[in-house]
Amino acid sequence: MLKHLCINNLAVIENVELSFREGMTVLTGETGAGKSILIDALGLVLGDRADTTVIRTGCARAEISAMFDVGANEQLLQLLDEQSISVADNELLLRRTVNRDGPSRAYINTTAVPLQLLCDTGSLLIDIHGQHEHQGLLKRDEQRELLDDFGDYGNLTLQVGRAYEKWDGVNRELRSLTEPDGETGDRISLLRYQVQELQALELEENELERLEDEYKRLSNINTLLETSRQALDGLYGGEQSVNDSINAVKKELAALERFDSGLADINALLENASVHIAEAADELRSYPGRLDQDPERLHKVEQRLEKLHDMARKHRVQPQQLYAHQQSIMQQLADMEHIRTRLAELEQEQQRALEEYRSAADELGEQRRRCSAVMATHISDRIRTLGMPEGAFQINVTPGPDLKPHRNGNNQVEFLVSANPGQALLPLRKVASGGELSRISLAVQVSVNRDSSAAAMIFDEVDAGIAGGIAEIVGNLLHRLSQDRQILCVTHLPQVASQGDNHFRVTKTSDKKTTATLVHELNEEQRVEEIARMLGGIKISRQSREHAREMLGSA
């Protein structure tokens, strides 16, 4: 249950702290006082989307925190355990901040969490039913979801969803492989031609780099020979060669070693240099013999390079990418040539996936038909106590308009109602007035949520359009519901407000510069005044107070 709510700088609320108890709590006040802002605040702390327009004017951020007693909510405790969030003394604190200059933040206890986790946690704590929720009741998808919420199908709806995803995945692959008529054959013919053309070249990996190195060597052979001879003369064989110069320096330094023995180290370095120069000279002597002076080979290399460059231009790739390009189109050709085999495999997979889907969807449809009768009976009983004594409610579960798989199964779900004697059962959207729809919505919400894991329910003016004795019945219904869970109800009806175990009044104040919403918990005498106000308007008479006391006493 919700134990404590703290709101700071949200809309017209500057600071409000409220403590809640078990049973049915009602919130009342003049229209526009800010009652629904309290529900909006709870929605935010439970994970609703927010923007900076909710922040009070002149403030940097809004903050909402809510303390819950989670009791033995095993599903919630398991969810939190999976996220490594511990719960002490059965208390859980949810906190949400909305910042004007940055993203909003969400916290569970002291742990910062993603908004989705806050939303998942909130859905296991409170069910909120807004004043306009009955409008969604007219949509068939919403009707199907309500039936599924009511039904106890185990994991059947998830099983149908997974079977659909499997079938859809195979179907998408089939579509991607099935090209327009003739296109596949044309593509294969082109790839075959390209592969044959490239294979005729007998390409080798890294061939271009090797050929370019050979071409540079062969085309510059005279320069290489002449320069290598000059280098040999300069190092070793010619007049004033490097080797002779080093030997001369060595002799001079050797003569000086009698004056300074430290010169011996330098002479050793020069000796090593002489050895390296001799080795280099040996290499240069043998170098011309390693050069292939073959003009015919140069011509062949030039022709080969020209072919490779021409083919690269034809295939619109860089010459050095030609070999990799050949390997790529060979793989494409192999894939295309095996497409028929893959298509046959996919068609078999598709059939198996379809059979798996239909089996799960048929079982789900049967479960929906069984639950529809039970749910319709529950709702019929409810609406007959809400001012439609001859009312009847029925849920039709019929096959979908086509045999194509759908994520939520192959059923159409439609709510039918007869609100008056002699009136045939017709789709809800065609027969229900605004007031009737509001009552039917309440009946549906109460029926569907009777087994909800959430220990608290909030009703935000779902009693709109109801008055008189029916309003008293609605109040009784909500109060009976509060025997099993905590109920919070925003209402304008004294018949509903008088049924509350706890009562808060919401007021708005203004000093012509700022506006603020205040919330006060009422004692017994204050409740009399508030119920009397709701009964009699601005001027409260003695009769209104007596009537209010009577209503509270009866409740």
Quote the distance between the C-alpha of residue 274 and its chain's center. Answer: 74
Integer Cα distance of 503 and 524 in angstroms? 9
* Residue with more model confidence, 244 or 489: 489
pLDDT of residue 443: 84
Model pLDDT, residue 442: 78
Res. 404: pLDDT tops 80: yes
Res. 185: pLDDT tops 80: no
Same domain? For 294 and 259 the reply is yes
* Low-confidence winner among 10-19, 172-181, 187-196 (lowest mean pLDDT): 172-181
Q: Which residue has the higher pLDDT, 264 or 537?
A: 264
Domain boundary among 312, 337, 362: 337
Can you give the residue range of the structural domain that contains 548?
522-555
The reply to whether 107 and 242 lie within a common domain is no
Whether residue 108 lies inside any domain: the answer is yes
Same domain (yes/no): 66, 203? no
**Does residue 131 lie in a domain region?**
no
Higher pLDDT, 244 or 415: 415
What distance in Å separates the CA atoms of residue 521 and residue 27, rounded to the nearest whole number? 9
Q: In this structure, is residue 496 part of a structural domain?
A: yes
CB burial string 234-261: b at 16+ within 10 A, e below: ebbeeeebbbeeeeeebeeeeeeeeeee
Domain presence at residue 355: no
pLDDT, position 465: 67
Average pLDDT of the chain? Answer: 87
Instruction: Look at residue 186 and tell me whether its pLDDT is greater than 90.
Output: no
Same domain flag for 328 and 461: no
Q: Same domain for 100 and 13?
A: yes
Alpha helices in 233-321 (DSSP H): 242-256, 263-290, 295-314
Instruction: Name the domain boundary from 307, 337, 367.
Output: 337
Q: What is the CATH number of the domain that holds 483?
A: 3.40.50.300
- Residue whose structure tokens are 């969490």: 113
| Range from 63-67, 333-337, 491-495 carrying the lowest mean pLDDT | 333-337
pLDDT at 542: 87
197 lies in the same domain as 83: no
Q: DSSP of 174-228, one letter per residue?
A: HHHH-PSTTHHHHHHHHHHHHHHHHHHTT--TTHHHHHHHHHHHHHTHHHHHHHH
* pLDDT band (50, 70, 90) for residue 522: very high
Indicate whether 160 belongs to any domain: no
Same domain assignment for residues 189 and 320: yes
pLDDT at residue 60, rounded to an integer: 94
Helix axes 115-123, 74-82, angle to 10 degrees: 160
Which tens digits make up the pLDDT trace of 138-153?
888 889 988 998 887 8
6 shares its domain with 111: yes
Same domain, 108 and 210: no
Per-residue pLDDT tens over the stretch 8-19: 999 989 999 999
Do 469 and 540 fall within a single domain?
Answer: no
Q: Are strands 126-129 and 456-460 parallel, antiparallel or unpaired?
A: parallel
Rounded to the nearest 5 degrees, what angle is found at the Cα of 17, between the Cα atoms of 84 and 491? 105
How far from chain centre, in Å, is Cα 426?
A: 39
Task: Provide the pLDDT for residue 433.
Answer: 64
**523 or 466, greater pLDDT:** 523
Residue 111 has pLDDT above 90, yes or no: yes
Does 255 reside within a domain? Answer: yes
Helix axes 524-536, 542-554, angle to 10 degrees: 120
d(Cα 515, Cα 141) in Å, to the nearest integer?
Answer: 41
pLDDT on residue 453: 56
Higher-scoring residue by pLDDT: 475, 402 = 475
Tokens of 483: 């025997």
Average pLDDT over residues 365-392: 90
| pLDDT higher at 379 or 467 | 379
- pLDDT surpasses 90 at 385: no
CB < 8 Å & 24+ apart, contacts of 201-207: 201/307, 201/308, 201/311, 203/308, 203/322, 203/323, 203/326, 204/323, 205/323, 206/323, 207/308, 207/323
Query: Band of the pLDDT at 471, cuts 50, 70, 90?
Result: confident
Residues 19, 86: one domain?
yes
* Predicted pLDDT of residue 138: 82
**273-274-275 Cα angle (round to 5):** 90
If one counts the domains in the chain, the total is 3
474 and 545 both lie in a single domain: no
Under 8 Å CB-to-CB from 149, ≥6 apart: which residues? 448, 449
pLDDT given for residue 434 in this prediction: 63
Token code pair at residue 29:
């006040």
* CB contact set of 514 (below 8 Å; sequence gap of 6+): 57
> Which tens digits make up the pLDDT trace of 318-339?
988 899 999 999 988 887 777 7
| Predicted TM-score (pTM) of this structure | 0.60
In a domain, 460, yes or no: yes
Mean pLDDT (whole number) for 488-507: 93
H or E element, residue 17? strand 13-19
* Contact criterion met (CB below 8 Å) for 125 and 91: no
- Give a yes or no: residue 260 inside a domain: yes
For the cut 80, the answer to whether the pLDDT of residue 436 exceeds it is no
User: pLDDT, tens digit, for every residue of 262-290?
Assistant: 888 898 898 898 899 888 888 888 888 77
* Domain end residue (candidates: 296, 317, 337): 337
Neighbours of 214 (CB within 10 A): 17
